[in-house]
Amino acid sequence: MTDSREATGGRPMKPEVEIEPAFDSHRARHQNSARDFWIDKIRIRPVWAQDRQRYLEFFRSLSPTTNAFRFLAMKKRLSEEELTYLTDPDDTSHVALVALLNDNGRDRIVGAARFIMLPDGTGGSDHAELAVTVADEFQGKGIGARLVLGLVLLARKRGVQAFVLYASPGNTGVWKLVKRISDRASRCVEGGVARITLSLS
């Protein structure tokens, strides 16, 4: 049996993530059997530094629209520094999860989400900025909701009271995702950017 430290380059593997029961309501569940099939096949865990290549492949698979929705403008490439930032968070002020699909024996990233603690003066020290992206072919199957629900649990343990998410006003999918999770959410548009706030309390 391979030791977890050996498999991850000397680091112990981070555990998989349980979904926050208080938020795992009918809003986040899908009744469609095809969608439920995909949820059953998806495994959610924290991102590892060893996920660099998987993450790069995930980034490159995004359509121009999904790419622009995630970064608020089309992003053609990730620098080495950006890739390190996205795959090696500190797990304290920056926490990230990935959704994995085992594709013929190889794990493939099909979704990613993270929160970053906001400093005082930018929403409060108990607020965190949220970002979530799902590969185009897997959108609408509940994967984004499962990622966010996993982050809710981790954020609450760190004293986070609310998530703040910035999105293109045309990105109606992310607003639908948030509303599917909870009715404790609000949305306003300022300066061409939609600010979505999701209360965790």
Q: Which pLDDT value is given to residue 94?
A: 96
133 beta partners: 112
Quick one: tokens of 31? 């009744």
Residue 72: other Cβ atoms inside 10 A: 13
Whether residue 162 contacts residue 118, with contact meaning beta carbons closer than 8 Å, is answered with: no
Token digits for 13? Answer: 């593997």
Topology at the third CATH level for domain 15-199: Aminopeptidase (3.40.630)
In one-letter notation, the amino acid at residue 194 is A
Which of helix, strand or coil describes residue 177?
helix
Query: Are residues 174 and 181 in contact, defined by beta-carbon separation less than 8 angstroms?
Result: no
CB atoms within 10 A of CB 101: 17
Q: What is the pTM of this model?
A: 0.81
Phi, then psi, of 108 in degrees rounded to 5: -125, 130
Q: How many CA atoms lie within 13 A of 135 on its CB side?
A: 19
- Per-position pLDDT tens, the chain of length 201: 333 444 444 555 666 665 554 454 444 443 333 344 456 678 999 999 999 999 999 999 999 999 888 887 788 899 999 999 999 999 999 999 999 998 888 899 999 999 999 886 555 568 999 999 999 999 988 899 999 999 999 999 999 999 999 998 888 889 888 988 888 899 999 888 999 999 997
